[in-house]
A and B are shown apart, each in its own frame.
Chain A
Amino acid sequence: MSNLKTKASTKKNKTNLASSVDVVPKGTNDVWVYTDIVKDHFFHPKNLVMDASKMKGYDGLGMVGSPACGDMMKIWIKVDKKTDRIKKMKWQTFGCGSAIAATSMLSVMASEKGGMLITKALEIKPQDITKRLGDLPTRKIHCSVLGDKALRSAINNYFIKSGQKDRVVKEQVRMIDKSAQVTDHDIEEAVLEGAQTLEAVQKKTKVGIGNPEVIPEVEQLIRFYTEKYFG
């Protein structure tokens, strides 16, 4: 936390009230700030689509999330078929500041330095995005978990559209919460990272927020993985 504050306060000529105070979310005691990188991507998003009806000529389209669970992302990609690299990634996001900043950062990561290799792009994890953002407040990490999934879904869409069906990555997992796109594997990872209560797993994955009916199953999985790894 302390280094985040330093970063925010050392930025020259841009000191204003918003960047010099901590933002404290309602109902909590933990103080946090968005890093300047997060703020920059939020206020000046890169590769953002302002009019989806004008999006033409892309190679893959992916969408995950739902407004009910609080985040929804739509990603368009253009692929250089010869080099198998992502040339452009465009996006739209419904969500909070960190969700918007995370999608913006993901678009930079996917398209910078001549574009990311598709094989590499398929491996992007939420943690890779938050690291590039200079970290997100712990309680906001969940906001960025959909970005990598949306990108994978766009890549799969590209594989199908370009006749490379054999390359489609079938996530060998079971979907637990369709609107939040959370699988049993995500819950396993959350447990491995130390989340052992429903609340803690929800913080990381958003599972069941918009679909409370899946919660009993989620709780069962948390017990299962907790016993498997920590029992």
Chain B
Amino acid sequence: MKKYIYLDNAATTATDPRVVKAMEPYWTKYYGNPSSLYYLGLKSKEAISISRIKISKILDCQADEIIFTGGGTESINLALKGVMSKVKEGHLITSSIEHHAVLHAAETLKKSGHKISILPVDAEGFVNLDDISKAIEDNTRLISIMMANNEIGVIQDIQKIGAFIEKINNTRLQKGLAKIYFHTDACQASGNLDLNVKKLHVDLLTINGSKIYGPKGVGALYIKTGTLLNPIIDGGGQEKNLRSGTENVPGIVGLATALELTQSSKDKENARLIKLRDQLINGILTTIPKTILNGHPTKRLANNVNISILDIEGEAMLLYLDEIGIQASTGSACTSTTLEPSHVIRALGCPYEVAHGSMRFTLGKDTKVEDIKYVLKHLPKIVAHLRAASPVIVNMDEVAKAIKNAPRKITEL
């Protein structure tokens, strides 16, 4: 049988059979509309309530602070557009390594008259507090910083940033300035990091199902009581009038189940994955010359490996890997619509050629040590072949210099 090694768990995960089982009754047995008052409607409503309570326990919040949405992207759009549309010509601060859901929503907000500041990150992928305080203005309304990056896995210190913003808010209050809300996109982090919103000091937090062995097309947004925001979808007034539309009952049940399962096993699973992750990182860095690890070596998700392999292009590597059953991802321009290579790798200060050669391997609960060995056995051969066929020889010193001298300024979108 052909090998089939899935190392793209940051793109999406397989749905856990236990999640599928939990969702099962809500397709054909309890299919009622949660807004209906009879038995079937109440069964659906009950399932949503239980799911909301389950999630609120994990987030350490009130159940009514959880709003279900159609996925991570929608939660992010609701957080950003919902909050910003409460004011005219407001100010939003975010970072250069956010997911496109944040950056493109920010672009739309810019078009409707808001000012957007983009914070730089350092060479290892971290936002720093100095830049946050420098970027804040009187009319700053929202700061959105992702918890863990989808491409390079870097984990921001949200707790520290949240506490910092809270402190700033206290002084703003005395000056009569409006509170700055803090949102974090925790899609990549939901399965394996602590999501306690009190500890994190966040007002808004996005999670979704498809990265935590849950269903696709369902997400949630934590909205701290008192946070002012408008809905972005109008209709029947479901979810406290913040997300109209008949609720995705099986999806919601699946999301809650998946979050419970991943959160309860995260410590053990993280420890297992870190071993495999480091084995893969060290294996590639030591056996393949001219390779660069993107992102901090340890303050990264337990399952994320992102390495640039110089002198060759990511999509070509991807095709060879796919041919031998390894499924991974690249930050090369050739796999994006805009022909722009990964904005995240570029934000680290890496030149274009480093982004074109970046490969992402994201491990999952089915990844075994044999899979890592298989990659380490075959990848060097593929790289050697493509390098032999490539006329490019990138100078490593110049790359290091470019990363060191990258501008790293707060920019306006």
Contacts and interface: CB of A to CB of B under 8 A. Distances in A.
Interface of A: 16-18, 23, 25-28, 42-43, 45, 48-52, 63, 67-74, 92-100, 139-140, 142-143, 199, 202-203, 206, 209-210
B239 interface: no
Nearest to B353: A67
A27 B390 contact: no
Contacts of B156: none
Nearest to A48: B389
B337 A68 contact: no
A18 B323 contact: yes
B51 interface: no
A4 B325 CA distance: 22
B256 to A, nearest CB: 29
Given A17-B4, A100-B389, 20 more contacts: A17-B325, A26-B11, A27-B335, A27-B337, A51-B388, A63-B391, A67-B352, A67-B353, A67-B392, A68-B351, A70-B313, A70-B332, A70-B339, A72-B391, A72-B392, A73-B391, A93-B389, A95-B313, A96-B315, A97-B319
Given A69-B352, A70-B352, A70-B356, A96 B2 contact: no
Contacts of B323: 16, 18, 43
A18 B190 CA distance: 31
Chain B: number of interface residues, binned into ranges: 35 or more
Given A68-B351, A70-B356, A94 B337 contact: no
Contact of A209 (B311, B314, B339, B389): B339
Q: In terms of DSSP, what is the predominant structure of the interface of chain B?
A: loop
Contacts of A142: 339
A94 B390 contact: yes
Interface of B: 2, 4, 11, 100, 311-316, 319-320, 322-323, 325, 329, 332-341, 351-353, 356, 388-392, 394
B335 A67 contact: no
A69 B311 CA distance: 13
A49 B389 contact: yes
Contacts of B325: 17
Nearest to B315: A96
Contacts of A48: 389
A209 B346 CA distance: 13
Contacts of A97: 315-316, 319, 334
B390 A96 contact: no
B43 to A, nearest CB: 35
Contacts of A98: 334
Among A67, A71, A99, residue most surrounded by chain B Cβ atoms (within 10 Å): A67
Given A17-B325, A26-B335, A51-B388, A96 B351 contact: no
B332 A96 contact: yes
A98 B11 CA distance: 23
Given A26-B336, A70-B332, A210-B352, A92 B389 contact: yes
Contact of B322 (A18, A25, A70): A18
B37 to A, nearest CB: 39
A93 B313 CA distance: 10
Contacts of B338: 27, 199, 202
A100 B316 contact: yes
Among B100, B341, B353, B391, residue most surrounded by chain A Cβ atoms (within 10 Å): B391
A139 B29 CA distance: 44
B333 A209 contact: yes
Given A17-B2, A100-B316, A70 B334 contact: yes
B389 A27 contact: no
A94 B311 contact: yes
B224 to A, nearest CB: 31
Contact of B337 (A25, A42, A67, A99): A25
A68 B392 contact: no
B336 A67 contact: no
B339 A94 contact: no
B61 to A, nearest CB: 32
A96 B339 CA distance: 12
Contacts of A93: 389-391
A95 B314 CA distance: 8
B390 A92 contact: yes
The 9 tightest CB contacts between A and B, nearest first, are: A96-B315, A96-B334, A67-B353, A74-B391, A68-B352, A92-B391, A94-B392, A94-B390, A50-B388
A100 B386 CA distance: 10
A161 to B, nearest CB: 19
Given A18-B322, A26-B335, A43-B323, A96 B389 contact: no
16 contacts: A18-B323, A25-B334, A67-B392, A67-B394, A70-B313, A70-B332, A92-B389, A96-B314, A97-B316, A97-B319, A139-B337, A199-B338, A202-B339, A206-B339, A209-B339, A209-B352
A209 B26 CA distance: 49
Contacts of B319: 18, 42-43, 97
Contacts of A95: 313, 316, 334
Given A67-B394, A93-B390, A143 B334 contact: yes
Given A69-B352, A96-B316, A50 B389 contact: yes
B52 to A, nearest CB: 32
Contact of A140 (B4, B334, B351, B356): B334
B350 to A, nearest CB: 11
Contacts of A23: 322
Contacts of A202: 338-339
A42 B390 CA distance: 13
Contact of A27 (B312, B332, B336, B351): B336
